[in-house]
Structure 1
Amino acid sequence: MIRRTLREWQRIGYGDDDTTIPPAEADRIAAIAARSSFAGRGGEGVLEHGRKGLRARGVVGVIAAPGCQLEILPKIEGLGEHETTDEALRRRLIHMLAVVHDLRIDAGSLAQLGWQKDTILELLIRLFCARLMEAVRMGLPRRYVDHADDLPALRGRLDVTRQFSRHAVAPQKLACRYDDLSSDIALDLPPINRAIHSESLFS
């Protein structure tokens, strides 16, 4: 897997070393970026696909194509900073996403993430998996669900209206209404699910 990291408005040339990107992979990345809703009419709102290389524009996130990923980090430098590391920029971007999408991320989870080697997308996936494991350990949510069924013995309470309209001729069945504790319920997905399930960080 070829992984490259740029910052907004930074350029990467074509080539085969770690500071460049192979032309075939660059073409695939540029084609996907051109289909983004942020690409605009010319298709270069996310990336400029030039003769000598790719240039990031003012959109941040991860563009993933088969066999390659291009991470675009924001230029968020604090007062007096000149050489901000990619790790620091990823931390700031994750923090901004957490604020915007109301993601509850604790300091312990952040400390365990691979800020140097993982892209933003991989960091978000790790956070999602950690939150999912916490939810699984607490057990599946359950709720009492109302049921209406015709049974040979009374369960819950008798539905008198249905009993005398449907079973007046065949009283061997009882029209029952009862509550049953079930884990097969609709869930309100927390914001982190919506963030991870989106098609890309550009949507």
Structure 2
Amino acid sequence: MSEILTCLEHQSVPIRPTRNSGDFAVTTAQAAQLSKSKSIPQDAFRWGHQSLQWRQFCGVVQLEGLTLEILPKIYGKESQPGSCRLTLIRMLRKAGMMKVHRGAGASIHAQNHSLLDIFIQEFCLLLREQTLIGKPRDYQQQEANLGVVKGKLLVNQQLRQNLAHSERLYCQFDELTDNITINQIIKFTLRVLFPQCRSNQSRKAVTELLMQHDGISEERFSSSNIDRIQLNRTNSRYGPILDWCRLFLDTRNPDVTAGKHNLLSILFDMNVLFERWLAAELRPIAHHAGLTLKEQSPRRHLAYRPDIDQNVFQTRPDISLINADKKVVLILDAKWKILDSNEAKLGISQQDLYQLTAYGNLYNLQSLALIYPRQQNLEAHYPIQLYGRQRMGLDVFCTHPLPSVKLNR
């Protein structure tokens, strides 16, 4: 069973020729696995002098002999990996990026299990619930020698195979079966997950589900096979389960080394997660204020090219609040970044400020907001006045979990 090495985002991990159990380091061979992996985003980490540093990606990466667990750096909880892990799980659930079983949060202790075990257990809970209702089934065309006619008699095959056995009838018929692609994908995913289980609870859950899928054929699949499945009214409840299967299968990279080790990585971009989490938190508040929250919209263009009669430079605001008159009243930009309290500009990216100023002018706004996670030595709120043809106020929030955003109609 591989050892778990837990680190925080932006934390530097030493690279050594060899490592002993318990060392906070990875070996040169393990670092080489990371560099060759096609399943890890190129900007997930950066190289240092005999070290590597994870950037804004958090999750789990399983190497040969070692499992890396990268957790978000949560203000005030940096020394508590369990609390950081729990915060990440809660954000994933709230953002809808991790489909979970109802009540899973109560039965899975996120502070006491590794991330990979948590993912496996939540997948198993969701699958167990649907399996109790009944595995999906479908009619499949089959051919067989029977004692009575079933479906239709295939005359050519009957003459070819049963000429000397008149008691046999070669028939073609439709049979209702659970040995279909969806269940085969699920079984293959369970097979992939079993050797990754670290806790007895995870291993037991996977084993029980494999036993329930004992009559399903053993096939190999990739995430592309899942993309080709067409869900319908009878099996749509398996959509979240297939999303989990896609997540597990899409992150496997069997060609990392010359050996047969399968590198498995499940990484989440904290910029995307923070934006979706914030939208999920603000949506009911906006609704109560009579506003509609939109993500990545409404889209407009910043410019027009008359020579080709085409609009160019389309905008995609992170979060917009729209009133009953369909007018955008506030645009919020979510940034999972580290600021600097010693700078007059707070370390805010000039590009981000230009972008928001362009949004304010294009959408004719009086107020904008930049929202960052809570950080050390930073106040919860910084007001900034933007210069320009029209005066706009920019509220910079450095808070977690939720900023006190003024929702004006």
Q: TM-score range by the shorter chain?
A: 0.5 to 0.7
Name the residue aligned to 1:64.
62
Say if 2:129 is the partner of 1:134: yes
Range with bigger deviation, 133-142 or 110-119: 133-142
Range with bigger deviation, 172-181 or 3-12: 172-181
Name the residue aligned to 1:50.
49
Q: How does 1:54-203 map to 2 (within 5 A)?
A: 54-75=52-73, 82-84=75-77, 85-95=83-93, 99-100=96-97, 103-106=99-102, 108-149=103-144, 151=146, 153-156=148-151, 158-159=152-153, 162-163=154-155, 167=159, 172=166, 174=169, 176-187=171-182, 188=229, 190-197=242-249, 198-199=251-252, 200-202=265-267
Name the residue aligned to 1:34.
35
In 2, are the aligned partners of 1:8 and 1:57 still within 8 Å (CA)? yes
d(CA) in 2 for partners of 1:67 and 1:165? 54
1:55-85 Cα shifts (integer Å, max 9, x gaps): 222322222223322211234x5xxxx3143
SS in 2 for 1:147: strand
Name the residue aligned to 2:24.
21
> Where does the alignment leave 5 or more consecutive residues of structure 1 unmatched?
none
> Where does the alignment leave 5 or more consecutive residues of structure 2 unmatched?
78-82, 183-228, 230-240, 253-264, 269-409
d(CA) in 2 for partners of 1:165 and 1:70? 57
d(CA) in 2 for partners of 1:149 and 1:115? 51
d(CA) in 1 for partners of 2:44 and 2:85? 25
Backbone CA RMSD of aligned residues? 3.9
Range with bigger deviation, 117-126 or 7-16: 7-16
The Cα shift of 1:137 comes to: 3.5
Number of corresponding residues:
185
SS in 2 for 1:201: strand
In 1, are the aligned partners of 2:72 and 2:85 still within 8 Å (CA)? no
Instruction: Output the TM-score relative to the length of structure 1.
Output: 0.66
Q: In the alignment, residue 243 of structure 2 is paired with which amino acid?
A: P
Change (3 A) 1:111 1:175: same
The Cα shift of 1:124 comes to: 0.6
d(CA) in 1 for partners of 2:267 and 2:37? 7
Instruction: Output the TM-score relative to the length of structure 2.
Output: 0.37
d(CA) in 2 for partners of 1:195 and 1:185? 20
The Cα shift of 1:191 comes to: 0.8
Identity among equivalent positions (%) equals 22
Name the residue aligned to 2:8.
7
Q: In the alignment, residue 201 of structure 1 is paired with which amino acid?
A: I
SS in 1 for 2:37: coil
Q: In the alignment, residue 247 of structure 2 is paired with which amino acid?
A: A
1:129-155 Cα shifts (integer Å, max 9, x gaps): 223333443444333333345545322
Taking CA–CA contacts closer than 8 Å with sequence separation of 6 or more, which of the two structures ends up with the larger relative contact order? 1
d(CA) in 2 for partners of 1:109 and 1:201? 19
